[in-house]
Structure 1
């Protein structure tokens, strides 16, 4: 048996304290010290961090049938989104995917400019008289509104959703890091703030559903498809809980990751010393932003049976960790990997194609990637057509929680052209 190398950590908790205090720092140092397959111990949990495109392909694509989502992280997420695309395995996942996939084809997002422009108008008007703006909060509000219009053909209270989501993300990450938590015994022991936030998101969804059911000529959008499945017969039917879980997942997942990436994109452009970088292709700006700041910065799978990766044994039941944040900065695959350079996405290279996985890989690749790219390209184009954004104040650190958020406001100064 060939055991992978890794940091020793403390006697009882291994590297848990280091992960809790600086997750990215721990993982980065671990790969520098021990290579592309690293054994980590978090208390009773054994995990293997794999950081080579071939290893990532092995887990997420070529031999994906050897791994599942019955992991600690997915269990924590399930408290919010139930058994949905983010958390379901096997047949349940496939059923949700078949239902939702048609709505997320590229052709569905070729004509969203009017929606984006309509939602951006009031925001850009405010920017004209603002000394500075928190681009992270601005993007969160904006993308919530745009996503609701695209997916549900309705408006939502963006501030209400954002506030609830912040509580959910913080509490979910807290529970993921904690070796023990009362909510592991029963959902009744979740913190009151978390339960209230989940209830708020559920209320938003059921308000959208109630409004739709009163409509006579409903649009062919995601909500209509979910409701049709809810009213279907047989195996295709979604029960009440599945309907709620699917809608919640797509509302939250449809905006959180895109909003974060957009905020980091505007921040990175403002910080860039290259004059005129904002004139580059918006798609390339976004692609580079999600390279350096992938919202889903870590992915976990569980080995269903014993396996071997890179010559090292992966025990049955252990976790495998994949970090897009790390692989996107791997010096063997990226030149000057820490530099923000949208131009690198404008040319073909012989780089391993799975050294870039901001939307995942294999059958579980993010269903909303085309929507995210379409929204982001439109938003970036609209902003830079009217403004230049300049840095102001101290840049907050990167906060690796459930998603890769800034630790505080991302202040930028908007200057109208």
Structure 2
């Protein structure tokens, strides 16, 4: 039970302490369970890729199902494969050029808003970045304007809180128990259902010949024979897409900006590259390869604070991982957060050093030493879009502003479904 209390209170400390104390393979007792924690690239490769068919979604994601339903993040088996097939075409690399303009236009709006805050009280950049990533998600994948939906971020926060509560209690508390956060969750779920219904209503019957994710999901959900099941499935899949599709990128951008603030040499070099590559113009897709240093900065931010910080799996059949026996039904953990800070894999692992990602220094690095979006068949489907979005937005902001945290402000990680920043990110906005 002590480990369960630690999991509820400080999940990052639990994983970091286990890696430091027990090495690259350990068994962690949590309530009536034993978690098998593996923290080496070859072990991760085995679980996530080589023998991926033996591993289903594990602790945390299984329990989050009570909050998120059977969306792409929590589903398994044939349903997961069907869902992945539905959304996959919209994330193909050849479509990134089409999505680039939506990213840039949302970035332009953010820049304009921040210009209006120059010299004022600090702006909560988490809120600004959440609005930006939701706007990008609506324009790129849903072909819908999400700006009219109030309190989306608040509702998603309530859903994440409930999902983490399910993990900490192993779903032992019934949903009907009138705890404050469970009441917030029920209100949030009703609100998100209303959002989904309104998006479907706006789309109308014009879905068959359209190729955005919303239309594809509507067509797929109509295969359900029961109208109630159709509505629930569409809600589960869209809420998961909306949550995962904006949260990971917003978190990555927040961590990147906070790290840049502490390294003025990085900020200066970012601005120099953005001016040299873009001049005073808005970026276009072809500019992406002209921002190599910006890309390295984002990659290093994701090393220190990976958006997908924990990859839980459950073994269907018994297995052997690096000589260690894993029994059938065991819960297995791969933790990118600890892998990315492994002293045997990275020099000065806790320091911020974008130069780690130069081609020369990447040469010879174990492939699975760096897995910020997961790996294997279940790798994050939106990783290419999220990376493009982060690089362009960082370049656009670095060219225009010096964004600074208040003196003494501590940025604290909050390990939820993604590794977000606890309590917002207040930053002062100044022009160069």
Contact 2:137 2:242 survives alignment (8 Å):
yes
The match for 1:389 is 403
**CA distance 1:165–1:325, shift in 2 (3 Å):** same
How far residue 144 of structure 1 moved from its aligned partner, in angstroms, is: 0.8
Task: Work out the CA distance in 2 between the residues paired with 1:228 and 1:336.
Answer: 50
State the secondary structure of the residue aligned to 2:98: coil
CA drift at 1:158? 5.8
Q: 1:89 corresponds to which residue?
A: 76
For residues 308-330 of structure 1, the C-alpha deviation after alignment (integer angstroms, 9 at most, x for no partner) is 22222222212101111000111
Select the residue among 268, 275, 282 that pairs with 2:294.
282
Q: Which moved more, 1:319-328 or 1:241-250?
A: 241-250
Q: Name 1:7's counterpart in structure 2.
A: none
What is the alpha-carbon distance in structure 2 between the residues aligned to residue 294 and residue 343 of structure 1?
Answer: 17
1:145 to 135, 138, 156: 135
3-state SS, counterpart of residue 309 of structure 2: coil
Q: Note if contact 1:110-1:374 (Cα within 8 Å) is conserved in structure 2.
A: no
Matched position secondary structure for 2:103: helix
Q: Secondary structure at the match of 1:297?
A: coil
> In the alignment, which of 128, 136, 144 is matched to residue 126 of structure 2?
136
Output aligned runs, 1:14-413, within 5 Å: 14-69=2-57, 71-130=58-117, 131=120, 132-156=122-146, 157=148, 159-179=150-170, 181-183=172-174, 191-213=182-204, 219-231=210-222, 239-275=230-266, 276-279=268-271, 281-347=293-359, 348-393=362-407, 394-413=409-428
Give me the whole-angstrom Cα distance separating, in 2, the residues matched to 1:402 and 1:245: 16
Q: Tell me, yes or no, if the aligned pair for 2:39 and 2:339 is still in contact at 8 Å.
A: yes
Moved more, 277-286 or 400-409: 277-286
1:217 to partner: Cα distance: 10
Task: Report the 3-state secondary structure (helix = DSSP H, G, I; strand = E; otherwise coil) of the residue aligned with 1:46.
Answer: strand
Deviation at residue 246 of structure 1 after TM alignment: 1.8
The 10-residue stretch of structure 1 (155-164 or 213-222) with the greater mean CA deviation from structure 2: 213-222
Which whole-Å CA distance do the structure 2 matches of 1:129 and 1:210 have between them? 35
Gaps of 5+ in 1: 1-12
Structure 1 distance, partners of 2:310, 2:34, is: 16
Distance (whole Å) between structure 2 residues aligned to residue 223 and residue 180 of structure 1: 31
Which stretch has the larger CA shift, 348-357 or 190-199?
190-199
Q: Residues 39 and 338 of structure 2 are in contact (CA less than 8 Å); yes or no, is this contact kept in structure 1?
A: yes
Partners of 1:145 and 1:158 within 8 A in 2: no
Deviation digits for residues 110-161 of structure 1, max 9, x if unmatched? Answer: 1334323332344323322423222112111110111111111111146521
Q: Whole-Å Cα distance in 1 between the matches of residues 171 and 245 of structure 2?
A: 30
Deviation per CA, 1:332-367, whole angstroms, max 9, x where unpaired?
111221122222223142110111111111101111
Matched pairs, number: 400
Contact 2:67–2:162, Cα closer than 8 Å, also in 1: no
- TM-score scaled by structure 2? 0.86
- Distance in 1 between residues matched to 2:296 and 2:44, nearest whole Å: 24
CA spacing shift, 1:20–1:350, aligned 2, 3 Å = same
Secondary structure, aligned partner of 1:183: coil
Structure 1 Cα separation of the partners of residues 418 and 157 of structure 2: 11
User: Alpha carbons of 1:207 and 1:273: their partners in 2 closer, same or farther (altered >3 Å)?
Assistant: same
TM norm structure 1:
0.89
TM superposition shift of 1:241: 2.8
Q: Work out the CA distance in 2 between the residues paired with 1:41 and 1:221.
A: 44
State the distance in 1 between where 2:338 and 2:207 align: 50
Instruction: Check conservation: 1:144, 1:158, Cα contact below 8 A.
Output: no
Quote the residue 2:285 is aligned against: none
Q: CA deviation at 1:215?
A: 5.2
Q: What is the match of residue 3 of structure 1?
A: none
Tell me the distance in 2 between the aligned counterparts of 1:143 and 1:163: 15
Deviation at 1:201, TM superposition (A): 1.5
Offset from partner CA, 1:20-74 (integer Å, 9 cap, x none): 33222222122222110011001101101100011111111101122112x3412
2:59/2:313 contact within 8 Å kept = no
